[in-house]
Structures are given as structure tokens and as C-alpha cells.
Chains A and B, each alone.
Chain A
Amino acid sequence: EAQVTQNPRYLITVTGKKLTVTCSQNMNHEYMSWYRQDPGLGLRQIYYSMNVEVTDKGDVPEGYKVSRKEKRNFPLILESPSPNQTSLYFCASSFREGGAGSPLHFGNGTRLTVT
């Protein structure tokens, strides 16, 4: 089954404790990205990757890191989480750019709470 898998689904942590949210896709997609969802704001892009070892910032990259060492994986790293990073996070992948009309396939989300 074609899917984007994120782990964990729920995560509660404390300020400053490094964490990683994993994302994996099995569709051989070139493009992958991370979004955060906040009430009333819709989804905002954090980082994206166009291929292995190629990443770039989205609209809200501060406080986040990513890496793309393999085509199927795109982890999101919070090296020193803060309470304003409490949010619902989604990983997405697509065959081509969303700007070229290629729809994004989303994971089921990771709900992060930073206290």
C-alpha cells in the first residue's frame, strides 16, 4: 500500500530536550516536505527536499532541522524544542513539485506537546 509513515503519532517532551520525528514514504517520490498545522492558520511548510542531500527552507524553518540521506526518509529534528513548537506536524511527499500540479500525499500526523 502506498503510504507516508510518520512516527511517533503523539509526543510529549520538555523544553530543550532534543527529539526526532521520522518520516518514510514507499512511493519512490522525489519531493518530501514537513508542515505544521495550527488552528486557523492551516498548514505551513517548514522544510522541503527535492532529492537526496537537497533540502531548503519553507515558510517557518526556525528551530527545525532536516536531513535527506536516503530517498525514502526525511526526518524532522528539533534540537532544542520550545513551547511555541507545540503543534500538529505532517510529512508529505509527491512525485513532482506541488507547483507543477502534483498532489501531496500526507502522513497521519505527529502531535507534539512541549512543556
Chain B
Amino acid sequence: AQSVTQLGSHVSVSEGALVLLRCNYSSSVPPYLFWYVQYPNQGLQLLLKYTSAATLVKGINGFEAEFKKSETSFHLTKPSAHMSDAAEYFCALGGAGNKLTFGGGTRVLVKP
């Protein structure tokens, strides 16, 4: 069975500091992986996706993620946090039937 684990339900960073959100997955087949962001009272917006073309994936708003097969990880980073990055972030694993298996989410708080 597929699964996704996000370490840390809440992360607090200072403005300008590195943002690191951790995601580990379990899949019996080569994975398709996604990071989504959810702003308050909104739906989920795609940040980036991994589809085996390159292990380092760049997304919108300065985010990037690195796929590490040996560690079954797909961690999300941003070098310098901005106040507008305050949101909830979800890692997701693609599966059959239009299904994404989501992690529990990580809420990011950015301190001025």
C-alpha cells in the first residue's frame, strides 16, 4: 500500500530563513510525487511535481524539491522564507484512479 509521511505538523521559520519541509513515501512502483500549498479558505495549488525526468525539481514561488530514491524522500525547500509563504503544505503520491495519497500536512508559520 502507498503511504506518505510528513514530519512535523507545524514549522516556524523566521523571514529570510531556510524553509525545509520533510516528506517520506512508500510505494511499490516508481513514484510520481507532488507538493501542494493551501492558503486559508482556498483549494490546493500545485507547487511542483516529480515525474522521473530530474531528481531536483523547481516549482513556483522559489520552492524546489529533491527526490532521493535511496531515502524514499521528497523534501521541499526554499532558501529564504517570505511572509507570503505562511500556509499549509501537502506532499502527495500519485496512484491509480486519479488518486493522490496525501501526507498529513505541515503548517508553516513565518515570523517577521
How many angstroms between the C-alpha atoms of A42 and B103 in the bound complex? 6
Are B94 and A40 touching (Cβ within 8 A)? no
Per-residue CB proximity of B72-107 to A under 8 Å, as 1/0?
000000000000000000101011111110111100
Q: Inside 8 A of A62's CB, which chain B residues have their CB? A: none
Query: Once the chains bind, are B99 and A42 in contact (CB under 8 Å)?
Result: no
Residue pair B98, A33 in contact (C-beta under 8 Å): yes
- Asked if A32 is at the interface of the complex by the 8 Å CB criterion, the answer is yes
Indicate if the CB atoms of A99 and B97 lie closer than 8 Å: yes
**How many residue pairs, one in A and one in B, have C-beta atoms under 8 Å apart?**
87
The distance in angstroms between the C-alpha atoms of A40 and B5, with both chains bound, is 11
Decide: B9 and A99 in contact? CB cutoff 8 A: no
Contact A99 B94 (CB under 8 A): yes
Bound-state Cα–Cα, A48 to B90, Å: 20
Q: How far is the CA of A111 from the CA of B34 in the complex (A)?
A: 24
B102 to A44, Cβ gap below 8 A? yes
Binding site for A on B (CB under 8 A): 4, 6, 9, 32, 34, 36, 41-46, 49, 51, 90, 92, 94-100, 102-105
What are 25 A-to-B residue pairs whose CB atoms are below 8 Å?
Answer: A4-B43, A32-B98, A33-B97, A33-B98, A33-B99, A40-B104, A40-B105, A42-B104, A43-B90, A48-B97, A48-B98, A58-B97, A59-B99, A90-B43, A97-B96, A97-B98, A98-B32, A99-B99, A100-B32, A102-B94, A103-B49, A106-B43, A106-B44, A108-B42, A109-B41
On A, residues with C-beta under 8 Å from B are: 4, 31-33, 40-45, 48-50, 56, 58-59, 90, 92, 94, 97-109
